[in-house]
Amino acid sequence: MKLKGKVHKFGDNVNTDEIIPASFLSTSDPKELGRHCMEGIEPGFARHVKKGDIIVAGENFGCGSSREHAPVSIKACGISCVIAESFARIFYRNAINIGLPILECKQAYKILKNSLLQIELDKGVIKDLNKDEVYQAQTFPKFMQELVEAGGLIRWVRKKHTK
């Protein structure tokens, strides 16, 4: 799976309340959640996202509550992938379960800024098209790649049981 998009950069310890504030949790509609993505840290963020754009962040991205709304809002606003130095454990699993591609890459946060990226998700290859530089992220095991490619755990199960 190849992805391509512009970088939107955030710092360390971006929590789920910043990704999707509690005041917007009265709905589970992905489109509505997507309109308010990152409102707690950058109001109006979703209006600046183009389909396919990529979030790059520091350590512990998605810390805080275990709300699945956080990765849903990111995916629904058009972000194709989140690259971070590290992810909070529950966010990491929620992202995989809803089919949001995420990559851990230590050097990405320190280097990538205002970049246009091309990502080969299955290989963990991140290419900065502005600088013609390549970075290696940790890859998912094949099973987890299948979950993301299917669009999440529920879609993967449906696909497996309809064969």
Q: Which residues is 81 bridged to in the sheet?
A: 54
- Classified as helix, coil or strand, 20 is coil
Task: Please give the residue range of the domain that contains residue 108.
Answer: 2-161
Taking CB atoms within 8 Å and a gap of at least 24, the contacts of 44-47 are: 45/8, 45/77, 46/77, 46/78
Domain count, the chain: 1
Give the C-alpha separation, 119 to 85, whole Å: 16
pLDDT digits (tens, 9 = 90+) for 103-147: 999 888 888 778 899 999 999 999 999 998 999 998 877 767 777
Q: Is the pLDDT assigned to residue 60 strictly greater than 90?
A: yes
Who contacts 159 (Cβ-Cβ below 8 Å, separation ≥6)?
Answer: 150
pLDDT tens-digit readout, 74-92? 999 999 999 999 999 999 9
Please state the φ and ψ torsions of residue 132, each to the nearest 5 degrees.
55, 45
What's the CATH code of the domain at 111?
3.20.19.10
The pTM is what? 0.90
pLDDT of residue 18 exceeding 90, the answer is yes
In what helix (H) or strand (E) does residue 150 lie, and over which residues does it extend?
helix 142-150
Q: Which amino acid is at 143?
A: F
How many CB atoms are closer than 10 A to CB 135? 19
DSSP state of 66: -
